[in-house]
Amino acid sequence: MSLPCGTYNRSYARDMAIIRTRAQWGMAIAGIALLCCFPRFIPLAWLNVLNFTMITMIAVFGLSILTGYTGQINIGQSAFMGVGAYTSAVLATNFGLPFWVALPCAGIMAGVTGLIFGAPSLKVKGLYLALATLAAQFILHWVFMHWPYLGGHEGVSAPYPSIAGISLKTTGSYFYLLLGLTLLMGIFAKNIVRTRLGRAFIAIRDNDKAAEGMGINVYNYKLLAFFIGCFYAGIAGSLLAHYTGFANYDFYTLDDSVWMLGMLIVGGLGGIMGAVYGTLFIKLIEQAFLINAPRMGLSTVQGATLGTVLLGIVIVIFIIFEPRGLQHRWELFKASYRLWPFSY
């Protein structure tokens, strides 16, 4: 990728850095500051949408590592979110543990569940493994519904988290929690994929035979990818449960899993920023239809259906015209505006 005009890397550390110039630092800080002001001037309905978007984004980060980087298709990401949600709700409600303990536990529980369903990856690859994760989706969903301990149709209630005595009950306060965690999880994901682990994952995706020949224990690293990917799902699930106030299987259906794959494809497989663009793009279009349905003279259900149909078309268009996703488009745009008006 080309650097901004007149910028040169004089050390390897600088060459590897994500944020290279003062201007970039400035933009990053300004961007975060702007995001922090959102609760002040964004309508509540849209703030709520942003909250759901950020939760989904965390799960899509995980999916990006597992499917985008390691090449193990996972059609059960939302079920793993469910594992996190139920774990966190049960720990908080039945055992009275604080949110800050339940959150990582939810991630670990989902990660371990991911290990179990990722175990066949030693023998099966590609579509066959995808079927194993599809089985995970159905089995886990069935368990959420039918295991009496998990409350059946009502699910398990999850209390609002609180920091230092301040309960995060409002949409605005939860926004800050989610913003912080999404940034953190995003940075972690980016760091994972640009260091040894990410290279091992990509090596496995691109050529598992040669990866083995470079001293990478392919099976262990596939399992590790499953753990990390599902850990992210678990964290997202826990956040969703504590946001909505309960863990309920209705939020963790096959539909959601497939949508997450769709977001990854629209954003661009094999890029952490791709997960950000893809999730934002799909969630915002979806919600735009939902929220504006009355204005267009449609019922909410009609709006949602129309949105889904249009999104389906959008995904097909992306696969045909820009299989590398929004991320790639953005990179191309950046490369050109950095050099503009010169050709190189």
Q: Give the shortest CB-208-to-another protein separation in angstroms.
A: 10
207 binding another protein? (CB under 8 A): yes
Rama region for 97: left / alpha / beta (φ>0; ψ in -120 to 50; rest):
beta
Neighbours of 21 (CB within 10 A): 14
From residue 33 to residue 62, what is the string marking binding to another protein with x (rule CB under 8 A)? ------------------------------
Q: Name the residue nearer to another protein (CB basis): 186 or 303.
A: 186
Radius of gyration of the chain (CA): 21
Q: What is the largest CA-CA distance in the chain?
A: 67
Of 57, 250, 68, 242, the C-alpha closest to 152 is 250
206 binding another protein? (CB under 8 A): yes
Sign of the four-CA dihedral 209, 215, 218, 224: negative
Residue with tokens 């949602």: 304
262 binding another protein? (CB under 8 A): no
Among 195, 300, 302, 336, binds another protein (CB under 8 A): 195
Q: Name the residue nearer to another protein (CB basis): 292 or 336.
A: 336
Stretch touching another protein by CB under 8 A, among 128-136, 209-217, 248-256, 272-280: 209-217
Q: Give the shortest CB-8-to-another protein separation in angstroms.
A: 14
213 binding another protein? (CB under 8 A): yes
Q: Name the residue nearer to another protein (CB basis): 130 or 192.
A: 192
190-221 burial, b if ≥16 CB within 10 A, otherwise e?
A: bebbeeebbebbbbbbeebeebeeeebebbeb
153 binding another protein? (CB under 8 A): no
Give, for 103, the enclosing helix (H) or strand (E): helix 99-118
322 binding another protein? (CB under 8 A): no
Is 313 exposed, middle or buried, given 0-12, 13-18 or 19+ CB atoms closer than 10 A?
A: exposed
Give, for 199, the enclosing helix (H) or strand (E): helix 196-206
115 binding another protein? (CB under 8 A): no
Q: Give the shortest CB-111-to-another protein separation in angstroms.
A: 12
Restricting to residues 266-295, name those near another protein by CB under 8 A: 270
Interaction site with another protein (CB under 8 A):
1, 12-13, 16, 188-189, 191-192, 194-197, 199-200, 202-203, 205-207, 209-218, 224, 228, 270
